[in-house]
């Protein structure tokens, strides 16, 4: 695997995050990001398919981790409890990326184009969750529905966890799942 190019990629991500934060997503051009990273606009688009995706790199890793976490949950029949434990198992990864996720969330919330992309990422996360649940023997439709609800609860918990440095993920996650269960009645 090419060890080179990885450094450029990281520099592009950091430059993009910093510039987006300071000047807003719309006013920053891809050429400017590339210039700060010391490369050309063309190589920016070689590393990322478009100007938005530079903020969503690592989503593939997250999906893979979630799939593995779901597969590794010890036997629990209820799909939602499986998801709850799987999400909790991803805590270390989330904490590692924490310094990036907060400014990232701010720009995304302030930029409709980025919010759209994020919704697409969330949907793909739902799909992998559904597949991972199905692989555990849960019927297709039920897996899809549980994934939808579970990911929604996960997002709700993250939404409160992200801007709050002192908060612990576990109680927020439990609270979100409980509220979701109550909302159905």
Give the E-state strand segments of the chain in sequence order: none
Give whichever of 13 and 126 is closer to a second copy, judged by the CB atom: 126
Pick one of 43, 59, 101, 148: the residue that binds a second copy (CB under 8 A).
Answer: 148
* CA gap 162, 169 in Å, rounded: 9
> Shortest CA distance to 92 belongs to which of 170, 155, 160?
170
* CA gap 86, 154 in Å, rounded: 10
Binding mask 18-47 vs DNA (x if CB under 7 A, - otherwise)?
----------xxxx--x---xxxxxx-xxx
To the nearest 10°, report the CA torsion of 155, 9, 12, 68.
0
Q: Token pair for residue 184?
A: 């159905």
Query: Site size for DNA, by CB under 7 A?
Result: 23
Give whichever of 20 and 154 is closer to DNA, judged by the CB atom: 20
**Binding residues vs a second copy (CB under 8 A):** 78-80, 112, 115-117, 119-120, 123, 141-142, 145-146, 148-149, 152, 156, 179-185
**Binding residues vs DNA (CB under 7 A):** 2-5, 8, 28-31, 34, 38-43, 45-47, 49-52
């Amino acid at each position: 695997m090419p060890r080179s190019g990885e450094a450029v990629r990281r520099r592009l991500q950091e430059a993009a995050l910093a510039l987006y934060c300071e000047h807003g997503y719309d006013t920053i051009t891809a050429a400017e990001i590339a210039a700060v990273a010391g490369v050309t606009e063309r190589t920016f688009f070689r590393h990322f398919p478009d100007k938005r995706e530079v903020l969503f790199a690592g989503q593939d890793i997250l999906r893979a981790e979630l799939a593995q976490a779901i597969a590794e949950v010890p036997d629990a029949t209820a799909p939602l409890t499986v998801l709850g434990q799987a999400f909790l198992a991803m805590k270390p990864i989330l904490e590692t990326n924490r310094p990036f996720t907060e400014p990232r969330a701010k720009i995304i919330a302030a930029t409709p184009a980025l919010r759209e992309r994020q919704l697409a990422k969330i949907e793909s996360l739902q799909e992998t969750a559904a597949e991972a649940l199905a692989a555990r023997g849960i019927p297709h439709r039920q897996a899809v529905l549980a994934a939808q609800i579970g990911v929604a609860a996960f997002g709700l918990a993250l939404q409160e966890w992200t801007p709050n440095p002192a908060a612990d993920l576990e109680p927020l996650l439990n609270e979100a799942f409980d509220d979701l269960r109550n909302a159905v009645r």
